[in-house]
Amino acid sequence: MLDTPNSSTLAHTATSDSPDFSVPIVLGMIGLGTVGTGVYKILSRRTDLVFHQIAVRSLKKERDLPGLDSERLTDNAKSIVSDPAIQVVIEVMGGVDEARPLVIEAFKNGKHVITANKELIAKHGAELFDLAKARNVRLMFEGAVAAGIPIIMPLKLSLAANNILEIAGILNGTTNYMLTQMAEENWNYEEALLQAQKKGFAEADPTSDVGGHDAAYKISILASIAFKKRIDMKHVYCKGITSVTATDIQLAESLGYTIKLIGLCRQAEAGQLDIRVHPVLVEHDHPLASIKNENNAIWIKGDAVGDVMFYGKGAGEMPTASAVCADLLAVTTDLHKGNDPIPSMEIETTGFANILPVTETKNKYFVRLHTADHPGVIGLIGTACGEFGVSLESIVQHGIHEEDGTASIVFITHELAEKQMLKALDKIKADPAIQKLGCVLRIL
């Protein structure tokens, strides 16, 4: 039988405004992988918090964590959320199918929950916040977006006086590392991915990162806070970096841009929200252009504050653990005082967002074409663009491809609706002089 503080003496029975740290808060944690290990390292230094049980996938796995009592480990995650001694559950297992019912059960049993699970919050946050409120418990999730960068609490509280006009973020360290190396080392996509995996920035299955899904979860969470609307992930446009080439990056650099995978949310016309994730060209003088390697950054425009940016480590054991532990301490400090934790992290929404279809969005565009190397090609491109109201900002030829003798032509447009751009591209591609549509990227 594990020793547990007597329930009659638990810290939540204190009545003084001064915290009573003499009786520890009892914790349970689900997951002891990268983030869970970091959380344990930070919290094991404290005497006012005690891990009663930690759920792991395998009890046979060797763990180099000094002071970890193997008797505290269990492979039964349900025991964590049902144990009456545990006051706060830390969920760092990831995924949705297993995590969601466990969090729901924790709430039903009167436990507060701290999570770093962006997919869970993005897909089921509204349901979970409603349940937590009904049970008078807290769901905290600072670690779900940009790891160690404090962004949820500042957006929710510090910027509350603003109408948020726009948020643009580099929200995935894997893809930012890859794009940085493709720009600086001239690596192709496959080389950059392999190096990201070797350094531990990319998983063995990198689909969620390189496909943009990880960033989509995060920008959807930020959008729900900023605009107080529920976000249906099915309507969030998502495109990753798998089609971006070193050639595109070098051409963009020569024109004064760098390519980044950006999560974007902003107000559109008629009460709609423009929420999407895709690679974009960012001008060199924009704050996001200088963010390199595995770092993350979130740029916010408010009607009162103007432009602000949050920057730092967006992934990793200790940065994410830092955010998880900060959430935990926000809850446990009030428990030590005998108070209900403040509901500061609730996402208050007023129905589902009306998300603008990507074809209705307005953007500038960067387009690269392979064309026959003969006079008149640039003219036909200009004619096709003019037919559909596409105004060109610049158009240049960038050399001849030795392998097939085609010319590389790059043009940049002024801002226009995407549906216009698509019609013009269909017209251009239909001309026999156009050998290949190499790349189409939006410009931030």
Residue whose pair of structure tokens reads 């841009």 in the numeric block? 257
- What is the sign of the dihedral through the CA atoms of 65, 71, 74 and 78? negative
Count of CB atoms situated within 10 Å of the CB of 321:
26
The reported pLDDT for the residue numbered 402 is: 64
The reported pLDDT for the residue numbered 433 is: 86
Mean pLDDT for all residues in the chain? 91
Residues 6+ apart with CB under 8 A from 248: 259, 368, 438, 439, 441
The reported pLDDT for the residue numbered 342 is: 65
The reported pLDDT for the residue numbered 19 is: 66
Taking residues 369-381, report their average pLDDT.
Answer: 85
The reported pLDDT for the residue numbered 7 is: 42
Taking residues 396-407, report their average pLDDT.
Answer: 75
Angstrom distance (rounded) from CA 102 to CA 258: 42
Higher pLDDT, 150 or 335: 150
The reported pLDDT for the residue numbered 343 is: 64
Residue-wise pLDDT tens digits, 87-141: 999 999 999 999 999 999 999 999 999 999 999 999 999 999 999 999 999 999 9
Q: Is residue 220 a contact partner of residue 236, using CB atoms and an 8 Å limit?
A: yes
Q: Which amino acid is at 99?
A: A
- pLDDT exceeds cutoff 60 at 375: yes
Angstrom distance (rounded) from CA 411 to CA 212: 26
Q: Is residue 326 a contact partner of residue 90, using CB atoms and an 8 Å limit?
A: no
Residue-wise pLDDT tens digits, 187-215: 999 999 999 999 888 888 999 999 999 99
Read off the tokens for 119. 């997919």
Q: Backbone dihedral region of 63: left (phi > 0), alpha (psi from -120 to 50 degrees) or beta?
A: beta
Angstrom distance (rounded) from CA 169 to CA 314: 11
Angstrom distance (rounded) from CA 430 to CA 347: 48
Angstrom distance (rounded) from CA 194 to CA 178: 9
Taking residues 10-38, report their average pLDDT.
Answer: 77
Residues 6+ apart with CB under 8 A from 72: 2, 51, 52, 53, 54
Residues facing 396 on adjacent strands: 410
Taking residues 368-385, report their average pLDDT.
Answer: 87
Higher pLDDT, 18 or 332: 332
- pLDDT exceeds cutoff 70 at 4: no
Reading across the β-sheet that carries 73-74, which strands appear in turn? Answer: 73-74, 49-55, 25-30, 88-91, 112-115, 139-140
Q: Which amino acid is at 260?
A: K
Angstrom distance (rounded) from CA 206 to CA 315: 14
Residue whose pair of structure tokens reads 């089609």 in the numeric block? 243
Instruction: Provide the annotated active-site residues.
Output: 218
Domains of the chain: 7-147+317-337 (3.40.50.720), 161-313 (3.30.360.10), 358-443 (3.30.70.260)
Banded pLDDT at 444 (limits 50, 70, 90) = very high
Angstrom distance (rounded) from CA 131 to CA 121: 13
- DSSP 3-state assignment of 9? helix
Taking residues 383-409, report their average pLDDT.
Answer: 85
Q: Which amino acid is at 392?
A: L
Residue-wise pLDDT tens digits, 307-355: 999 999 988 899 999 999 999 999 998 888 876 666 667 788 889 999 9
Banded pLDDT at 414 (limits 50, 70, 90) = very high
Residue-wise pLDDT tens digits, 278-313: 999 999 999 999 999 999 999 999 999 999 999 999
